[in-house]
Amino acid sequence: MTQSVKKKKWEKLLPGGNLDQAGYSKEYHTGDWRNQIPIIDKSKCKNCLTCVGYCPEDCILVKEGKISHFDYKYCKGCGICAKECPTKAITMKEQK
């Protein structure tokens, strides 16, 4: 016996995703398949932490209100942190 699935019309879908937590890569090492890594120039960084808020995998570690480092084990190299950095302190470099 087959069950019918009731589909919602697109107009009734809520905007945004339905994530119950950020950072799903913590369950998987998604850093294994990226081709770019973020590099921070700490002389340009003003520690506004904008990048931390935008990182979809919570890979930017903060200590005492300052960016400590990137967790490359889980960073997937999406570049959102670099794109959103207001001082352009983060750049994406090809991973070797």
CATH number at residue 59: 3.30.70.20
Q: Are strands 66-70 and 90-94 parallel, antiparallel or unpaired?
A: unpaired
pTM of the model: 0.70
Is residue 13 situated within a structural domain?
Answer: no
Q: Is residue 23's pLDDT more than 60? A: no
Average pLDDT over residues 10-25: 58
Is residue 84 situated within a structural domain?
Answer: yes
Range of the domain at 74: 31-94
**Confidence (pLDDT) at 34:** 86
Is residue 24 situated within a structural domain?
Answer: no
Percentages helix, strand, coil for the chain, rounded to the nearest 5? 20, 20, 60
Q: Is residue 3's pLDDT more than 80? A: no
Average pLDDT over residues 30-40: 86
Neighbours of 15 (CB within 10 A): 4
**Confidence (pLDDT) at 10:** 57
